[in-house]
Amino acid sequence: MPPIWPEIQVDVLMFLGCVAAIGIYHLFLMVMVRRGHHYTFQAVVSRSRAAWAQSVMEGGRDILAVQTFRNSIMAATFLASTAIFLITGVLTLSTQGDRLEGLWHALNVGGGAGPAVWILKILAILVDLFAAFLCFTMVIRFFHHVAYMINVPLGGRHGAVAPRLVIAQLNRAGHFYWLGMRAYFFLLPLVLWLFGPLFMVGATAALIVFLYRLDHMPLLDEEAAQLPAPPAREDGKLVSLR
């Protein structure tokens, strides 16, 4: 075993346990979405984006599309910029570890308190913030491209873009937005980890409860069953979005 392993063993095992718990929760969501397409709020929003894109392309509502994408890009830009500011703050904090380490570990019970543990915690926070920044920059990228694609006339003499391709890229932007927000949510356990692994475990349990209430669509099963899946139209044929 490496010489630093006894120092970081408890923290690493609890961290991996928290990551596994969040992973199991999202696997549970995937299974429930397969059983019912309206189980999660994200699934309903995905179908709403598809219906919106179909309506904009068929109705030629270019101004609505531009305004919507402008608002979405501004939100993603703000969140990406926030991630960079937080990264700068964490890097500044890492240089003061020798002064803050003892203070932050005053309530630490059962976890390590050496420099290796401090570096590990700071590194985990940085990786999470870099992931959030990357996701929101990808959101900006996809929204930028979709803004051109969605304004191509369906019957234009210069060519056309199939609605299902626009919908696919739009939903990819939504998926990266969802991942970026998950990275922000996971900051709560990581920040509390600075005070000790038990705080991280408690924050992870609270986060899973919060995410379930956030993700689960507050509809009765019989109400959700009445929500139709919006079809995509291509060359006069209906294309399923499932």
| pLDDT tens string 19-66 | 999 999 999 988 887 776 677 788 888 888 888 888 888 777 778 888
- pTM attached to this predicted model: 0.81
Residue 172 pLDDT class (50, 70, 90 cuts): very high
Per domain, the residue ranges of the chain are: 8-222
Give pLDDT tens digits for 189-201.
Answer: 999 998 888 899 9
Residue-wise pLDDT for 105-137, tens only, equals 666 666 666 777 888 889 999 999 999 999 999
Q: Kindly report, residue by residue over 56-106, the tens digit of the pLDDT.
A: 887 777 788 888 889 999 999 999 999 999 999 988 877 776 666 666 666
Please state, in angstroms and rounded to a whole number, the distance separating the CA atoms of residues 177 and 137.
9
- Contacts of 208-214 with CB under 8 Å at 24 or more apart are 208/21, 208/22, 208/25, 210/185, 211/25, 211/185, 212/25, 214/41
Residue 196 confidence (pLDDT): 83
Are the C-beta atoms of residues 66 and 143 closer than 8 Å to each other?
A: no
